[in-house]
């Protein structure tokens, strides 16, 4: 059956499209029906009618529908646009150095501000810096060793030392050692100079401070923890470390045990690695190098408060962190306490394990709590090293959990992130490395 054009219907016109639905003749019997002789005319007439129909009645509805679809489309892609912008911003920010903000804030001062004579004071080397309980892991890798950590506010510094020809060199491996990078030049001498500036003798201050003021002007009582990792033979290295600490010792800058109490100074020295525990405890009335005790040996059972007994499987000499210089007989955590040790440390990966679900399990949390409980009962500061550093979201989550559970010192590579304590999840945390 052929299609019909409005021009072939009596009593209808193409200019009145509403009649298409209200006044239609009956052609069921075929009367008065004529098939279109020209199919091109037929197509034109139909198109014209539909065009007229749309122009008069259906366009308002079409515009409304299009607007609705447009709004729905925008709503669907809006989260993607926001995420894309956040990603781009995160990438751009990652190109700037860690102390970009600090540098820009101090770039210029208005001309009407006070002169340097007013803005400077004798102990202002650490102005605007608040100390934070973070440990600068492998500090000798920093752009400026020691000073980068202090500028960030980290109170813990780590130096790996190697004994060669009577000198203590600093570096991660022997291949990284140079003649100029020594313990004395990189850490002892700068600390002596900084503390000398923090304890000035002036016409207004004619007597020496007792105890001496620390590095941080905002908290002079805060001690800087210098962790020295003995990489070579413990006994031989011990003698040279003790000797090189003399400039700090002679000025009263070292924390020490006097036989009954701890007298805190601006610098607290802790030995780890092959540091011999037997030499740390050899003098019962004076010691100014403290031990880095094995945290894994202090796990306490929550219900019974018991301490597990752990067998030493390695040699007592040069056995590594927590075991060097300890008798080869059965080791318990009893010998380690606040009189001979400062830290209780362990590898996070070894003692707790990697959080494969990107969150710590109840079992892992329980082990952390038990170790913290055992260390704190002995007056020791808890430190976990070898924490996952990527992705940032996982690292920040672990930092938050550890601080919440009572860890005393965060072992960190990213000084600024740790010091700012802004560990909330961010889009860039899933790929960024800083």
Residues 227 and 371 grouped into a single domain:
yes
The stretch 317-344 carries a mean pLDDT of 72
- Nearest Cα to Cα of residue 400 among 363, 356, 368: 368
Query: Angle 123-255-241 (CA atoms, 0-180°, nearest 5)?
Result: 105
Rounded distance between C-alpha atoms, residue 243 and residue 260, angstroms: 24
Q: Which of 20, 50, 81 is the last residue of a domain?
A: 81
Q: Which of 47, 81, 115 is the last residue of a domain?
A: 81
Boundaries of domain holding 59: 6-81
Give the least confident one: 96-105, 222-231, 248-257, 338-347: 96-105
Percent of the residues in the chain that have a pLDDT greater than 90, as a whole number: 50
pTM of the shown model:
0.69
Rounded distance between C-alpha atoms, residue 320 and residue 225, angstroms: 20
Query: Angle 304-305-307 (CA atoms, 0-180°, nearest 5)?
Result: 115
Q: Is residue 87 part of a domain?
A: no
What are the φ/ψ torsions at residue 215 (nearest 5 degrees)?
-65, -40
Q: Is residue 11 part of a domain?
A: yes
Decide if pLDDT at 180 tops 80: yes
Task: Kindly report, residue by residue over 230-260, the tens digit of the pLDDT.
Answer: 999 999 999 999 999 999 999 999 999 999 9
**Per-residue confidence at 219, pLDDT binned at 50, 70, 90?**
very high
Q: What is the pLDDT of residue 256?
A: 98
Residues 27 and 104 grouped into a single domain:
no
Residues 152 and 249 grouped into a single domain:
yes
Residues 367 and 226 grouped into a single domain:
yes
Q: Which has more confidence, 222 or 13?
A: 222
Q: Are strands 267-273 and 262-263 parallel, antiparallel or unpaired?
A: unpaired
Task: Kindly report, residue by residue over 38-69, the tens digit of the pLDDT.
Answer: 444 434 343 444 444 444 444 454 666 666 77
- Nearest Cα to Cα of residue 126 among 198, 213, 190, 211: 198
Give the least confident one: 380-389, 393-402, 425-434: 425-434
Alpha-carbon distances, residue 149 vs 189, 225, 248 (angstroms) = 16, 11, 19
Residues 114 and 71 grouped into a single domain:
no
Q: Is residue 262 part of a domain?
A: yes
Q: Is residue 17 part of a domain?
A: yes
Q: What is the pLDDT of residue 115?
A: 53
Coil/strand/helix, residue 159: strand
Q: What is the pLDDT of residue 65?
A: 65
**Per-residue confidence at 107, pLDDT binned at 50, 70, 90?**
very low
Decide if pLDDT at 190 tops 50: yes
Task: Kindly report, residue by residue over 285-323, the tens digit of the pLDDT.
Answer: 999 999 999 999 998 754 444 444 443 444 466 666 666
111 half-sphere exposure, CB direction, 13 A CA radius: 0
Could you give the residue ranges of the DSSP H alpha helices within 139-272?
A: 147-152, 183, 189-198, 234-244, 246-250
Task: Kindly report, residue by residue over 2-27, the tens digit of the pLDDT.
Answer: 444 444 444 444 444 443 344 444 44
Decide if pLDDT at 135 tops 90: yes
Could you give the residue ranges of the DSSP H alpha helices within 199-296?
A: 234-244, 246-250, 277-280
Residues 24 and 160 grouped into a single domain:
no
Mean pLDDT, the chain, integer: 78
- Nearest Cα to Cα of residue 271 among 321, 209, 218: 321
Q: What is the pLDDT of residue 116?
A: 58
Q: What is the pLDDT of residue 87?
A: 82
Please say whether the beta carbons of 408 and 133 come within 8 A.
Answer: yes
Give the least confident one: 126-135, 202-211, 353-362: 202-211
Residues 24 and 151 grouped into a single domain:
no
Domain count, the chain: 2
Q: What is the pLDDT of residue 255?
A: 98
Q: What is the CATH number of the domain that holds 214?
A: 3.20.20.190
Structure tokens at 416: 């600024």
Q: Which has more confidence, 274 or 420?
A: 274
Residues 221 and 288 grouped into a single domain:
yes
Residues 110 and 15 grouped into a single domain:
no
Residues 76 and 104 grouped into a single domain:
no
Residues 159 and 193 grouped into a single domain:
yes
Q: Which of 21, 48, 81 is the last residue of a domain?
A: 81
Q: What is the pLDDT of residue 186?
A: 96
Residues 156 and 226 grouped into a single domain:
yes
Q: Is residue 90 part of a domain?
A: no
Q: What is the pLDDT of residue 117?
A: 62
The stretch 349-370 carries a mean pLDDT of 92
Task: Kindly report, residue by residue over 139-154, the tens digit of the pLDDT.
Answer: 999 999 999 999 999 9
**Per-residue confidence at 357, pLDDT binned at 50, 70, 90?**
confident
């Amino acid at each position: 059956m052929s299609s019909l054009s409005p021009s072939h219907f009596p009593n209808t016109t193409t200019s009145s499209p509403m009649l298409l639905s209200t006044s239609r003749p009956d052609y069921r019997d075929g009367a008065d029906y004529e098939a279109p002789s020209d199919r091109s005319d037929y197509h034109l007439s139909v198109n014209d009618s539909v065009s007229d129909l749309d122009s008069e009645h259906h366009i308002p509805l079409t515009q409304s529908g299009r607007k609705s679809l447009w709004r729905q489309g925008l709503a669907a892609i809006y989260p993607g646009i926001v995420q894309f912008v956040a990603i781009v911003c995160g990438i751009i920010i990652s190109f700037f150095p860690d102390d970009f903000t600090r540098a820009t804030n101090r770039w210029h001062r208005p001309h009407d501000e006070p002169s340097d004579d007013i803005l400077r004071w004798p102990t202002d080397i650490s102005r605007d810096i608040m100390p934070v309980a973070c440990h600068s892991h492998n500090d000798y890798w920093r752009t400026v060793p020691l000073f980068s950590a202090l500028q960030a506010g980290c109170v813990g510094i780590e130096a790996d030392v190697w004994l060669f020809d009577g000198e203590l060199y600093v570096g991660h491996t022997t291949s990284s050692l140079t003649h100029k990078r020594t313990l004395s030049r990189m850490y002892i001498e700068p600390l002596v100079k900084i503390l000398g500036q923090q304890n000035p003798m002036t016409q207004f201050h004619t007597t020496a401070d007792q105890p001496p003021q620390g590095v941080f002007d905002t908290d002079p009582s805060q001690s800087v923890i210098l962790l020295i990792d003995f990489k070579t033979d413990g006994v031989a290295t011990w003698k040279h470390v003790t000797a090189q600490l003399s400039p700090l010792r002679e000025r009263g800058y070292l924390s020490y045990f006097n036989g009954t109490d701890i007298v805190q100074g601006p610098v607290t020295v802790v030995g780890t690695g092959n540091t011999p525990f037997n030499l740390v405890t050899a003098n019962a009335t004076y010691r100014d190098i403290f031990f880095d005790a094995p945290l894994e040996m202090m796990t306490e059972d929550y219900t019974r408060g018991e301490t597990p007994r752990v067998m030493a499987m390695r040699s007592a000499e040069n056995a590594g962190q927590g075991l060097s210089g300890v008798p080869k007989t059965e080791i318990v955590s009893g010998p380690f306490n606040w009189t001979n040790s400062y830290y209780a440390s362990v590898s996070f990966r070894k003692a707790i394990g990697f959080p494969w679900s990107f969150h710590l399990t109840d079992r892992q949390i329980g082990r952390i709590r038990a170790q913290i409980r055992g260390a704190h009962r002995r007056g020791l500061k808890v430190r976990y090293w070898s924490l996952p550093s990527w992705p940032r979201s996982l690292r920040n989550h672990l930092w938050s959990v550890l601080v919440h559970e009572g860890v005393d010192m965060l072992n960190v590579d990213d000084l600024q992130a740790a010091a700012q304590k802004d560990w909330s999840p961010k889009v860039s945390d899933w790929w960024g490395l800083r």
